[in-house]
Structure 1
Amino acid sequence: MALSKMDNLYRQVILDHSAHPHHHGELSDSTNEIELKNPTCGDVLQLDVKVENDTIKDIAFSGYGCTISQASASMMTDAVMNKDTKTAEDMIEAFSDMILGEKSDTDILEDAAVLKGVSQFPARIKCATLAWKALHKALNKD
């Protein structure tokens, strides 16, 4: 099956985010932290978030995983930076709906919308959603 030029572009964006992830590292002044694991494939993600006045002021992730999980984490950190926590939660819901093949507002997802094709590969859905689930859990920790 031949890839269209658009599919090829999306693939390049995913590969670039995986090879050169944005916001990769740790925060020394995070207000919210969490580590999640995907036991299916072994992905591990540590997420550090700095929230001030209900706004994500800084975010970083570390850990290891497949191309999809690393690219998704990189895109997620770009998308939610400087967003209020309500908007971030809306983005998490939109991403989850998109990955599950449901109707969603992909415009708010920025580059992360290119991961829509993952919905065709059920084994990769947990990889793509790991960072987004981590953010949800980090923002809602008691």
Structure 2
Amino acid sequence: MNVEDMYQEIILDHYREKHHAGLREDFTAQVTQVNPSCGDELLLRLHLDGERIRDISYDAVGCSISQASTSVMTDLVIGKTVEEAQQLYRGFQEMMRSHGDQSLDEDLYEDAVAFEGVAKLMARVKCAMLGWSALEESLMEAEQNSDTASAGAPTKGETA
């Protein structure tokens, strides 16, 4: 089995057995991402415990690439600090934008290296980035929610 076949199998495995799929109630931020060019839709919930990602849950419909990439992303960032997750996001984004000219560190990115071949397919980059973009947006929303709570204003689910 060559490397590209192995990477394709990783993507299909994550598509068939989506890790962390299914919405859970305890969350810090919730975001929706849509890729109209492919029909992908994602609702992602992030649960922070201080500065550490405690959980990510999601509900998604769409192509195998968007769903597999989201599954891989959740495996990578759960348990990481916000800063570590943001670094992983930036590295994955840079690789996808390189159109196949940049590689990921397999020790750091694990199954995400399977998407290096996808980066060469311009039409599929948005698909692979959907879950990662939702992660970045949810981290920003969680930070805004935290800033609002620190200022004494009511947060989601609270009344003044």
Instruction: Give, as a single letter, the amino acid of the residue that structure 1 aligns with 2:38.
Output: C
Partner of 1:115: 115
What secondary structure is seen at the aligned counterpart in 2 of 1:140? helix
State the alpha-carbon separation in 1 of the partners of residues 90 and 103 from structure 2: 8
TM-score by length of 2: 0.83
Q: CA deviation at 1:5?
A: 1.5
Partner of 1:74: 71
- Give 5+ residue unaligned stretches, structure 1: none
- Give 5+ residue unaligned stretches, structure 2: 145-160
- Does 2:74 align with 1:63? no
> After the TM superposition, which segments of 4 or more aligned residues of structure 1 sit over 6 Å from their partners?
none
Pairwise mapping of residues 10-89 of structure 1 onto structure 2 (< 5 A)?
A: 10-89=7-86
Larger radius of gyration: 2
State the alpha-carbon separation in 2 of the partners of residues 98 and 35 from structure 1: 23
Q: CA deviation at 1:14?
A: 0.4
State the alpha-carbon separation in 1 of the partners of residues 18 and 76 from structure 2: 13
Alignment partner for residue 7 of structure 1, among 4, 8, 11?
A: 4
- The answer on whether the counterparts of 1:106 and 1:113 sit within 8 Å (CA) in structure 2 is yes
Count of residue pairs the alignment pairs up: 139
TM-score by length of 1: 0.93
Task: Report % sequence identity.
Answer: 37
